[in-house]
Amino acid sequence: MLVVDDEVRSQDAIRRTLDEDFTVFTASNADEARRLLERQPVSVVLCDQRMPGTTGVAFLKEVRERWPEAVRMVISGYTDSEDIIAGINEAGIYQYILKPWAPDHLLDSVRNAVEAQALQRQTSRLDLELRTSTGVLRQRTATQIDRARASFGFERLVRAPGSPLDGVCAMAQRVARYDLSVLVLGESGTGKELLARAIHYASPRLTGPFVVENCAAIPDTLLESELFGHKRGAFTGAYEDHQGLFQRAHGGTVFLDEIGETSPAFQVRLLRVLQEGEVRPVGGTRPVPVDVRVIAATHRDLEQRVREGLFREDLYYRLAGVSITVPPLRERAADIAPIARQLLQDVANELGHPGATLPDATLACLLAYPWPGNIRELRNEIARALALQDGSALDAAALSARVLQGHGKGGEDLRAALPTSGTLAERLDVIEAMVLRETLQRHRWNKTRVAQELGLSRVGLRGKMQRLGLEK
């Protein structure tokens, strides 16, 4: 890959982040980058936007014309919407990365860019095969569909036997067969997008695209263009026609995440698209018919927002053909163990720690925590703990303090757990039990260490544990 940045320190920081996975070339300006591209094949070009002389978008526009197979990415500390639009339309950039960037995010973005290039080459190869062997291609396509169904089906939603998620999945499977709009409700991080994918791959539309858009991540002005498309000249920076996601998802499914964050003005335009079954690109004069199934999701209480006048009632009923609520992780504690084991396996493979295990003491700490951030928080906690240790067994000591203490909001949870009735001695027993339990979990029930920290003898500690019911 090629990094183009006029700041040498920025070049060095990016190289240190990527050089374990990629061969990284650097250039300080467009001329150096151009000479390097002429003699060296490059898969990804990561270019700073604001540089002396030629801007990043202008240089990547030239790259698009001369080296079209290279994936183009822009990195910038500025969020000017005109720059973003120009980058998409003129240079065909794959991703716009904002400064300051996180090393993990940058590495994942470049990995995805390389994967996108490989998929593009594979698609071109399949197009060639289509002209020579339709039967072989049809068989390969069927195989790929089967793999996708196996990867994103309901059985991939990890859960324990008898989980509350069983009823959710059973309902979703029945709904998937019918072309009804679905509204998926639930807290952030509960797996709403996974459920939406499972619905898509269990539906008659499984051979069509599954397109995702996070409505909270894009301003209204860009969201309308992203979903419905725009015509050349519709606004400043619209240098060519842009096909919206609804058109790209024709025959498939559109997943609108965080639909509750959209403005009333955008809701009017979305309602018209759902009612008429056609989109009108921004600046366009003719509507374009689209055949899509819409699955929307939100962590908001949409009925409450309807009552408050923040969400259109007619759009709510159009989206909520069937409403499905995904319960939070704290309401299905039995699922924590199988989910944690699956996440540990996935994260361990990503971080290069194959064979990682989850000891009972560590699992006990995970089970005692309420997980306000749900599965997303659980995954981050496992990744953090795995990165902070060298052995294969996930040590409880590597978990964060809030998990070891068994509460997620600091003093608020502690105050909520304090008893509000009983004698002073009874209330002090409850507090003493909380302190002992937290210390025991943190030291993985090593009584010698716990006794030393709390200034007790082992005999005294054992007596308190027996009195407070903590011996087991």
- In-domain check, residue 126: no
Residue 70, both tokens:
């290279």
Residues 279 and 371 in one domain: no
- In-domain check, residue 291: yes
Question: Which residues are registered as beta bridge partners of 422?
Answer: none
Residues 156 and 259 in one domain: yes
Q: Which residues, other chains included, contact 410 with Cβ-Cβ below 8 Å and sequence gap of 6+?
A: 402
Smallest CA-to-CA distance from 320 within 169, 181, 187 is with 181
Residues 317 and 336 in one domain: no
- In-domain check, residue 129: no
In 3-state terms, the chain is what percent helix, strand and coil (to 5)?
A: 55, 10, 35
Residues 97 and 14 in one domain: yes
Residues 236 and 261 in one domain: yes
* Residue with tokens 């999701």, as numbered in its chain: 297
Question: Which regions in the chain score pLDDT beneath 70?
Answer: 78-89, 124-142, 144-146, 148-150, 406-422, 471-472
CA distance 465 to 472: 9
Q: Which residues of 47-76 are buried (b: 16+ CB within 10 A; e: fewer)?
A: bbbebeebbbbbbbbebbeebeebbbbbbb
Judge if the upstream peptide bond of residue 100 is cis by omega within 30 degrees of 0: yes
Question: Which residues are registered as beta bridge partners of 295?
Answer: 182, 255
**Could you give the 3-state DSSP secondary structure of residue 355?**
coil
- In-domain check, residue 157: yes
- In-domain check, residue 136: no
Q: In this predicted structure, what is the pLDDT of residue 407?
A: 55
Residues 208 and 298 in one domain: yes
Residues 319 and 337 in one domain: no
CA distance 274 to 214: 18
List the domain range (segments joined by +) for residue 468. 418-472
Residues 210 and 320 in one domain: yes
Among 264, 291, 325, which residue terminates a domain?
325
Q: Specify the CATH number for the domain of residue 272.
A: 3.40.50.300
Residues 112 and 197 in one domain: no
Q: Specify the CATH number for the domain of residue 62.
A: 3.40.50.2300
The angle, 0 to 180 degrees and rounded to 10, between the axes of the packed helices 360-367 and 424-442 is: 140
Among 64, 89, 121, which residue terminates a domain?
121
Q: Specify the CATH number for the domain of residue 340.
A: 1.10.8.60
- In-domain check, residue 413: no
Among 121, 151, 173, which residue terminates a domain?
121
At 246-293, the pLDDT tens digits run 999 999 999 999 999 999 889 999 999 999 999 988 888 788 899 999
- In-domain check, residue 130: no
- In-domain check, residue 388: yes
Residues 107 and 93 in one domain: yes
Q: In this predicted structure, what is the pLDDT of residue 130?
A: 61
Residues 42 and 148 in one domain: no
pTM: 0.59
Residues 152 and 251 in one domain: yes
Q: In this predicted structure, what is the pLDDT of residue 433?
A: 80
Q: In this predicted structure, what is the pLDDT of residue 95?
A: 80
Residue 170, both tokens:
């059973």
Total number of domains in the chain: 4
Q: Specify the CATH number for the domain of residue 457.
A: 1.10.10
